[in-house]
Chains A and B, each alone.
Chain A
C-alpha cells in the first residue's frame, strides 16, 4: 500500500526537499500551506515536482483547520516543518513566533490524539535550543539554553512532543537539526545572502557585502540530505529524538571564505561588518555530536561546510546563466 505523508510547511526549503525524497520512495505526498491557492510553491516548481504533490490549505494555529486536513488526507506520517523560521525575525515578532511554532505543534498533537489514529509525527526542532554549547558537543542529553524568542518557542515545542509521547504514547519524534543550507534558502538567511552577494561581486558588481558578527560558529550541513534523517526517524521501531549535524564546527568567516574562494575572490576585500546587524543575543559557539543518528539511524552527513558553500555557489551561478 502506498504510504501517505502530510507535510506542513511544504513551501520552505526542507518541505520541498522532503517532498522530493518521499516521492522517490513512492509516497503520496500532500503538502499544506496557509493559502494553497495563493501560494506559488516556487521551491517545488524549481525542483520540478510541483505537479506530483497535492496541496491543501491549512493553518496550524487553527485547530479546526488541522483536524480537517488530517481527516481528509488520512496520512501515515506527518512532518511539521511549518512555522516562523527566522531567529532574527523572532525578536521583532515574538508572539507570532510562539503561536506558529508552539501552539501549532500543540494543535497537531491534540488533533492526532483526538483522531486516535496511528499517525507518526516528526517535528522540526532546532539546534538553536542549545544556545552556546560551551565547547562540549551537544547531544540528545545536553540541556537547553535558548537565546532568542525563536529558540524559546522551539524548546517549548520540543517538550510538548516529548510530553505527548510519554503521556499518550504518540509516535512523536523531534529532530534537533543544526544549520542546514541549500540554494532554496531565502536571502534573509545569512548563507544565501553571502552566496548571492559574492556571485554579484564576481560578476563585476561594485558593492560591499555587509554582515553582522562573522566570528559566530555554526555547524553547517546540506539540507537535501538532512530531510532523509527526518524520514528515517519515523521508520524506527520506537519514537525518539535525534541531533542531526555534520559534527564539524566553522566560523561564519570560514563560510564566507569558502564562498569567495570558490569564486576566485579574496573575501577580505569585499566584506565589511556592521554592528547594527548583530542580534540582541546571539549564539557564539556551537558544537554538535550526531553520534546517535549515525548509530541508530545509520545516517551521516556526506557534505561539510566547504562542500555546502561550493554547491550553493554553483547553483546560484547556474540560476543566473538561465536568466
Chain B
C-alpha cells in the first residue's frame, strides 16, 4: 500500500450511497474500508464489483464486520484503520419503518453518530480524522419556508427525522466544542438503480417494469401528492467528499432545486416503458390506468400513508454550488430512465429464469 494513500472508512457501505461513494473514492486512489453488519443472507450485492479477495496483495477495498450500536467495535475498527476520513452513511434509513421501530432508529441513527464522534475523540484523532454525517431533508419535515436552505429551521415529522436531528446537532456540537472536522450534508432525496426496493422511486420503476413483463398486474403506492426534490445518488456522493476537502468544516444542503410529485415520477417512468397513464378518482380512490389497455396499473393503499406526512420538499443548494463549485449532472428524466432501464433488465432476467423453469423470488415488502 502506498504511503501517501488516503484512507476512508464508510459506514453503511452496503447501501446505495455507500456503494457509489466507495467507487468514487477508489477512483480517487483512496484505500477504502467499509463496515457491514452481519446478516444470515449476503448483503453486499451493491459492492460485489469492488470486492477484492483478502489474499490479493495491494488490497484497497476492505470490509469489516461492525455495527453502529456497538461502541467498542467501532473504536477497535477506527483504531486499526486510523482513517483520514469517516463517512457515516449507516442508518435505519426508512421513514415509514421508523414509526414501527422508533427505539432502534434512535439507537442506530442518533447514538450511532455520537458513538463514532466519541470513538474519534477517545482515540485522540480529532485533528486527523474528518467526519461526514449523512443528514437529510427530512429534518425540514413540516417546512417552515420554501425552498429550504442551511438556515431554514427544522421541523422533524418522524422518529427517523428526530433521530437524524440529534445526529445533525451532535455533529455541530463536537465541531464547536472540540474542534473536530465534522460536516453535515443535508441531502435531499437521491435515487438510483441501487436504491432499496422499498423506497418509493425504486418501487415505482421496479413495479412498472414487472407489470410490463407480466410479473404483476398493478402497483400500490401511498401519498401520490408528496413532492420531493430528487437527484441522482452518484452526483451527491461527490459532494460528501468535497465537503471534507475544504479548509473549514461546514454544513451544506445538497439538492437539484427542482420538485416533482410522486404522480409525476410514475408518469415519467411509465412513459419510458410505453405506458401512457390516465389518472382518475381522488385520494384513496385515485387510480392510474394504462391508456392502451384501460387496465388499472397504479392504485393507492392507505397502508403506505404515514401517521405524519412530509408534503413537499425543495432544496436550495446555492451555498454548495458557490463554495464547492458543485452542481448536479443528471436530470430528473435521465435518472428515471436509468432506473427503469435497470429494472427492466432485471425483470427480463427473471423472465428468462422463469421460462427455463427456475424459481424466481418476487421480493416481499
Determine the chain A residues whose CB is within 8 A of the CB of B170 once the complex forms: 94, 149, 152
Find A146's partner among B115, B169, B178 (CB 8 Å cutoff): B169
Determine the chain B residues whose CB is within 8 A of the CB of A246 once the complex forms: none
- Distance (whole angstroms) from the CB of A156 to the closest CB of chain B: 4
Determine the chain B residues whose CB is within 8 A of the CB of A153 once the complex forms: 166
- Distance (whole angstroms) from the CB of B188 to the closest CB of chain A: 19
A-binding segment of B47-55, B157-165, B248-256, B326-334: B157-165
The docked-state distance in angstroms from the alpha carbon of A310 to that of B169 is: 37
Q: A228 an interface residue at 8 Å Cβ cutoff?
A: no
Interface residues of A in 140-182 (CB under 8 A from B): 143-144, 146-149, 151-153, 155-156, 159-160, 163, 166-168
Find B157's partner among A99, A144, A166, A279 (CB 8 Å cutoff): A166
A-binding segment of B27-35, B106-114, B263-271, B277-285: B106-114
Determine the chain A residues whose CB is within 8 A of the CB of B165 once the complex forms: 155-156, 159
> Across the interface, do B169 and A160 meet the contact criterion of CB distance under 8 Å?
no
- Distance (whole angstroms) from the CB of B100 to the closest CB of chain A: 11
Q: B307 an interface residue at 8 Å Cβ cutoff?
A: yes
Q: How many residues of B contact A (CB 8 A)?
A: 31
Known: A98-B111, A103-B106, A152-B166. A163 touches B157 (CB 8 A): yes
Interface residues of B in 168-218 (CB under 8 A from A): 169-170, 173, 176-178
Determine the chain B residues whose CB is within 8 A of the CB of A94 once the complex forms: 114, 118, 170
- Distance (whole angstroms) from the CB of B94 to the closest CB of chain A: 16
> Across the interface, do B169 and A152 meet the contact criterion of CB distance under 8 Å?
yes
The docked-state distance in angstroms from the alpha carbon of A153 to that of B167 is: 10
Q: B99 an interface residue at 8 Å Cβ cutoff?
A: yes
> Across the interface, do B177 and A95 meet the contact criterion of CB distance under 8 Å?
no
* Chain B, interface SS category: helix
The docked-state distance in angstroms from the alpha carbon of A129 to that of B294 is: 55
Determine the chain A residues whose CB is within 8 A of the CB of B102 once the complex forms: 106, 110, 160
Find A280's partner among B118, B169, B177 (CB 8 Å cutoff): B177
Determine the chain B residues whose CB is within 8 A of the CB of A63 once the complex forms: 103
Determine the chain A residues whose CB is within 8 A of the CB of B147 once the complex forms: none
> Across the interface, do B154 and A152 meet the contact criterion of CB distance under 8 Å?
no
Q: B288 an interface residue at 8 Å Cβ cutoff?
A: no
The docked-state distance in angstroms from the alpha carbon of A102 to that of B178 is: 23
- Distance (whole angstroms) from the CB of A126 to the closest CB of chain B: 14
The docked-state distance in angstroms from the alpha carbon of A155 to that of B178 is: 20
Determine the chain A residues whose CB is within 8 A of the CB of B154 once the complex forms: 143-144
Q: A281 an interface residue at 8 Å Cβ cutoff?
A: yes
Which residue of A has the minimal Cβ distance to B152?
Answer: A143
Q: B315 an interface residue at 8 Å Cβ cutoff?
A: no
Which residue of A has the minimal Cβ distance to B163?
Answer: A156
- Among A144, A152, A166, A281: residue with most chain B CB under 10 A: A152
Determine the chain B residues whose CB is within 8 A of the CB of A27 once the complex forms: none
Q: A107 an interface residue at 8 Å Cβ cutoff?
A: yes
> Interface extent on A, as a size class?
20 to 34
Q: A303 an interface residue at 8 Å Cβ cutoff?
A: no
The docked-state distance in angstroms from the alpha carbon of A149 to that of B113 is: 12
Find B158's partner among A95, A143, A163 (CB 8 Å cutoff): A163
Q: B15 an interface residue at 8 Å Cβ cutoff?
A: no
Q: A91 an interface residue at 8 Å Cβ cutoff?
A: yes
> Across the interface, do B106 and A91 meet the contact criterion of CB distance under 8 Å?
no
Determine the chain A residues whose CB is within 8 A of the CB of B306 once the complex forms: 167
Determine the chain B residues whose CB is within 8 A of the CB of A99 once the complex forms: 111
Interface residues of A in 183-229 (CB under 8 A from B): none
> Across the interface, do A103 and B115 meet the contact criterion of CB distance under 8 Å?
no
Determine the chain B residues whose CB is within 8 A of the CB of A102 once the complex forms: 106, 110, 166
Question: Could you give, for residues 119-145 of chain A, a 1 whenever the CB lies within 8 Å of some chain B CB and a 0 otherwise?
Answer: 000000000000000000000000110
Which residue of B has the minimal Cβ distance to A167?
Answer: B307
Find A110's partner among B103, B111, B115, B169 (CB 8 Å cutoff): B103
Which residue of B has the minimal Cβ distance to A110?
Answer: B102
Interface residues of B in 78-112 (CB under 8 A from A): 99, 102-103, 106-107, 110-111
The docked-state distance in angstroms from the alpha carbon of A280 to that of B173 is: 9
> Across the interface, do B156 and A163 meet the contact criterion of CB distance under 8 Å?
yes
- Distance (whole angstroms) from the CB of B108 to the closest CB of chain A: 12
The docked-state distance in angstroms from the alpha carbon of A99 to that of B153 is: 25
> Across the interface, do B173 and A163 meet the contact criterion of CB distance under 8 Å?
no
Determine the chain B residues whose CB is within 8 A of the CB of A152 once the complex forms: 166, 169-170, 173
Determine the chain B residues whose CB is within 8 A of the CB of A168 once the complex forms: 307
- Among B103, B154, B170: residue with most chain A CB under 10 A: B170
> Across the interface, do B177 and A166 meet the contact criterion of CB distance under 8 Å?
no
> Across the interface, do A147 and B166 meet the contact criterion of CB distance under 8 Å?
no
Q: B43 an interface residue at 8 Å Cβ cutoff?
A: no
- 26 A-B contacts (beta carbon < 8 Å): A95-B71, A98-B166, A99-B111, A106-B102, A106-B159, A110-B102, A110-B103, A143-B153, A144-B169, A147-B173, A148-B177, A149-B170, A151-B169, A152-B169, A155-B169, A156-B165, A159-B165, A160-B162, A163-B156, A163-B162, A166-B308, A167-B99, A168-B307, A280-B176, A280-B178, A281-B177
Q: Given contact pairs A95-B114, A166-B157, A167-B158, enumerate 4 new A-B contacts (beta carbons under 8 Å).
A: A102-B106, A159-B162, A167-B99, A168-B307
Closest 9 CB pairs of A and B: A167-B307, A143-B153, A280-B177, A156-B166, A152-B169, A167-B308, A281-B177, A159-B162, A281-B176
